[in-house]
């Protein structure tokens, strides 16, 4: 993506459940992040953003099953499940982490993206789709607005 003085790329950093990991894995993750911060000397930014939990697939499934079910009691249970997923989609958020890289030219930016793989170690840093980038830039420019996420 282009900005005033060059180009930037947004990559996603995989989130980890630190409480569910062994102590050795946590230390390995911390060491990887420390090494990344020491070795990668070019400008970068790490952002944390909250995105709604995507439940459209589950909602579509329950809607389909409700249409096919003839038993009233089953329909009531499925309606409750559908309402739960709608509530989750409207009120719960995932924490997602992003790495933003900067470079003056597109070629240099591509080199930076390739060098990230060398420095990332145990961290999983992955490219993201254009639609997700649009959501991120929109959210950065409109902090109080809500993003509607499709699976």
Pair 81, 105 in one domain: no
Residue 64: exposed, middle, or buried by beta-carbon count in 10 A (0-12, 13-18, 19+)?
exposed
Q: What pLDDT is stored for residue 105 in this prediction? A: 92
Task: Name the residue range of residue 79's domain.
Answer: 54-91
| pLDDT (tens digit per residue) in 19-56 | 999 999 999 999 989 988 888 888 899 999 988 888 99
Residue 145: give its domain's CATH number. 3.30.70
Residue 151 above 50 pLDDT?
Answer: no
Q: What pLDDT is stored for residue 130 in this prediction? A: 92
Pair 103, 70 in one domain: no
Pair 40, 5 in one domain: yes
Answer whether 101's CB lies under 8 Å from 133's CB. Answer: no
Q: How long is the chain?
A: 151
- Mean pLDDT across the stretch 112-129? 87
Q: What pLDDT is stored for residue 145 in this prediction? A: 77
- Mean pLDDT across the stretch 108-115? 91
| pLDDT (tens digit per residue) in 50-109 | 888 889 999 999 999 999 999 999 999 999 999 999 999 888 988 999 999 999 999 999
Token match 């840093």: residue? 125
Pair 73, 112 in one domain: no
Domain total of the chain? 2
Q: What pLDDT is stored for residue 144 in this prediction? A: 78
Pair 69, 135 in one domain: no
pTM across the whole model = 0.79
Pair 9, 25 in one domain: yes
In Å, what is the CA distance from 120 to each residue of 3, 64, 72, 83, 144?
Answer: 25, 43, 53, 40, 32
**Contacts for 146-149 with beta carbons within 8 Å, 24 or more apart?**
146/52, 147/51, 147/52, 148/52, 149/51, 149/52, 149/54
Residues sharing a CB contact under 8 Å with residue 2, sequence separation 6 or more, in sequence order: none
Pair 148, 103 in one domain: yes
Pair 80, 116 in one domain: no
Pair 105, 144 in one domain: yes
Of 109-118, 125-134, 142-151, the range with the lowest mean pLDDT is 142-151
Determine how many CB atoms are found less than 10 A away from the CB of residue 48: 10
Pair 122, 150 in one domain: yes
């Amino acid at each position: 993506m282009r900005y005033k003085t060059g180009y930037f790329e947004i990559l996603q950093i995989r989130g980890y459940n630190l409480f569910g990991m062994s102590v050795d894995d946590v230390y390995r993750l911390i060491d990887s992040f420390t090494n990344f911060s020491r070795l990668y000397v070019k400008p970068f930014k790490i952002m944390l953003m909250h995105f709604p939990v995507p439940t459209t697939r589950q909602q579509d499934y329950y809607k389909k099953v409700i249409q096919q079910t003839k038993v009233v009691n089953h329909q009531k249970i499925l309606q409750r499940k559908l309402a739960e997923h709608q509530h989750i989609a409207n009120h719960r958020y995932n924490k997602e982490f992003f790495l933003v890289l900067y470079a003056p030219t597109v070629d240099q930016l591509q080199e930076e993206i390739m060098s990230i793989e060398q420095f990332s170690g145990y961290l999983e840093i992955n490219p993201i789709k254009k639609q997700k980038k649009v959501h991120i830039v929109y959210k950065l420019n409109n902090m109080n607005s809500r993003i509607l996420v499709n699976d």
